[in-house]
């Protein structure tokens, strides 16, 4: 499918970042998500964001954890392109989570996976989550956020945006389905906290602590 996003945003010129931020805010408040992550894990040592895209949430994480280094990875060659924070503390990599898990296992006590899995084919989701588990330190936490479907206009807008702007074959799942998949990978009691992220109840987040 043709990716319309880069074509449209290329017309915005110097206003691209401002317009992109405003459009994203229709669907999710990343500042609220960052506050929730800080509440869950107030003093992480090593932070990793998997599927960071162009760096919108990475920017909030770097701002929230002012004395911590952040590693952010994505398969897009434009990883971190719109990041406007302190690059001295952020390391962007065009890299698969599986490759990083092979090179640096058990290295991060906070891993963030936000609005990534609904872009990943169902058959590949367990593989990605297993790589995330290998990346987590023994006492580490996964902050997982995604979007659950509903019969509302905002879900139709979100689904259309994801599908036609990114060009991905987006597949959403219910909160219960996500919960069951996460239990399978991280253990039956691994979800320690749940939250809804503004401005829509479709935005849900889990604090996950893997079990041995």
Asked if residues 115 and 163 have their Cβ atoms less than 8 Å apart, the reply is no
Contacting residues for 209 by C-beta, under 8 A, at least 6 apart: 139, 140, 141, 142, 186, 190, 192
Q: Give the residue numbers spanning the domain of 21.
A: 4-208
Q: What is the pTM of this model?
A: 0.94
pLDDT of 32-55, one tens digit each?
999 999 999 999 999 999 999 999
CATH of the domain at 184: 3.40.50.150
d(CA 23, CA 33): 16
d(CA 101, CA 135): 5
What's residue 10's pLDDT? Answer: 59
Asked if residues 150 and 120 have their Cβ atoms less than 8 Å apart, the reply is no
The count of domains in the chain is 1
pLDDT of 108-161, one tens digit each?
999 999 999 999 999 999 999 999 999 999 999 999 999 999 999 999 999 988
């Amino acid at each position: 499918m043709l990716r319309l996003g880069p074509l449209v945003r290329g017309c915005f010129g110097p206003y691209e970042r401002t317009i992109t931020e405003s459009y994203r805010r229709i669907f999710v408040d990343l500042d609220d998500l960052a506050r929730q992550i800080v509440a869950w894990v107030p003093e992480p040592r090593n932070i990793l964001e998997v599927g960071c895209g162009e760096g919108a949430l990475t920017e909030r994480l770097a701002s929230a954890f002012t004395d911590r280094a952040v590693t952010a990875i994505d398969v897009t060659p434009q990883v971190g392109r719109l990041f406007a924070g302190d690059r001295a503390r952020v390391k962007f990599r065009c890299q698969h989570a599986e490759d990083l898990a092979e090179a640096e296992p058990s290295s991060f006590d906070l891993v963030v996976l936000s609005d990534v899995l609904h872009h990943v084919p169902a058959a590949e989701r367990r593989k990605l989550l297993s790589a995330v588990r290998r990346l987590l330190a023994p006492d580490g936490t996964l902050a997982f956020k995604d979007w659950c479907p509903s019969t509302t206009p905002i879900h139709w807008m979100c689904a259309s945006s994801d599908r036609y702007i990114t060009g991905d074959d987006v597949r959403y799942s219910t909160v219960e389905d996500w919960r069951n998949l996460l239990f399978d990978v991280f253990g039956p009691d691994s979800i320690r906290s749940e939250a809804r992220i503004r401005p829509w109840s479709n935005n849900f987040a889990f604090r996950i602590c893997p079990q041995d």
